[in-house]
Chains A and B, each alone.
Chain A
């Protein structure tokens, strides 16, 4: 597979065309705006929490295929999880996009998110993949705006 196809796997392209949970939320528990000054991509992330469980998560974004698909995949990955699980997933995901897949337990627990492993070969695009996760963390930690810089 060439690097381009590894970056833009079919699942990525498909999530870009039809992002999941791509909507404004009316009464979120918390929200955060993410901004990538490098390319101008923006995201607004909305979350509903029940105690420490993420019961709903959605986003609105203007950005590239990687940032949109990553956000879409993220919403699927964290819905129904606890806040701690979501934060831990971010750690593993960050490792995946900076160091690549390692074929171990971490990869398995990331599920569909591993399709973004190809980002590693494109250092300028790593922040595209992590923007939505920064916004997620911002929302959980009460930061209204976060930047990837």
Chain B
């Protein structure tokens, strides 16, 4: 089955005329036809005949002996918050306020996908404006978890994760502000990679928490994430926080026995982490030790203040970033009275509950009299944690642990308890807070047959080394080979 091959091999087969890209497009669209209605993955989709035409053009290029890109013929999905200029596709952030919005330009990462001849086939469902960990905050209904449709697929890049897990795309892009690529990857049994802050351009990504947002890769394996990342990673002058230089690939052989892993004691606290996740985490940590690696447990000492500091900063940035959705220039416009009434009515009818909640809490922590106590203090704590983590990652090669405290939960279980939903991110926000790259790789199944992920995080700029170590783990384990029942076996 072609869908089982690594991305690099698929492209190689296409380049050698061993695989016609139209066949790959048909495989993926057959999956979409069978399962998209039930699982609610795509917010907008390029019609099959148009994707087939585009695939045919690549096939022609190959026949003519012309050079094709590194992602030639790969049907790829992007999250509904990445701008794409395509008449069939919307950039609506799964929000009513941007329903039906067509971007007039491509995000830099989307431009890179197109330049490398990938076929962007659709934009995927998400928590509205990337705010959520379950996909339940989409204004158009949640995406369902393919392993068990009564469970959430994770969020906010839930649609992208399910697309890859079920073969409705061979790879996908998402965005990760506090775990939004890694947590859905973990909940759907695939690999999710959040690069160093600034490694992938944010130009054209609809902003949520600008100092935390990062575009990430959702793929079946770490090898695929590395391949996709390498193809689209570039310095971008349109993003003022883009890294000054392109990251260099890591060519050295990985010897697991020479590596030092830090497993924070707090990550094993049974008051936070579920028994299934704890078991999977310790299993892989022990496995690493059996390979000769050093695995050391250590107290971080700041987990208590990490989540509140993270949420104060992300809410503050959200309240500022979402000020632009006011019904004046684009998107939804409601109300016929004064200008003030137009703003309020548009935002009231356009935003969902979680978005309103975050905008208001962000406005509160930035308001006079509270700024220093909340936003000012949170930034000081961020500086402290960043310093501490960067020094810890000099002593150790990687920090390891769970991605999320539990397995995919049931729809509705946490929806009316925002604080318990925020605590879902307890292990994932650290990477965003400290600009570090981090990855979630599959680590087995729970007793209820639900996927569990394992997280590795490294120092900023060491993305390729992190990916290579994840590849080395996947080369010797088979957790990443499990497929949900929808997979075309």
Chains A and B bind each other: no
Identify the B interface with A (CB < 8 A): none
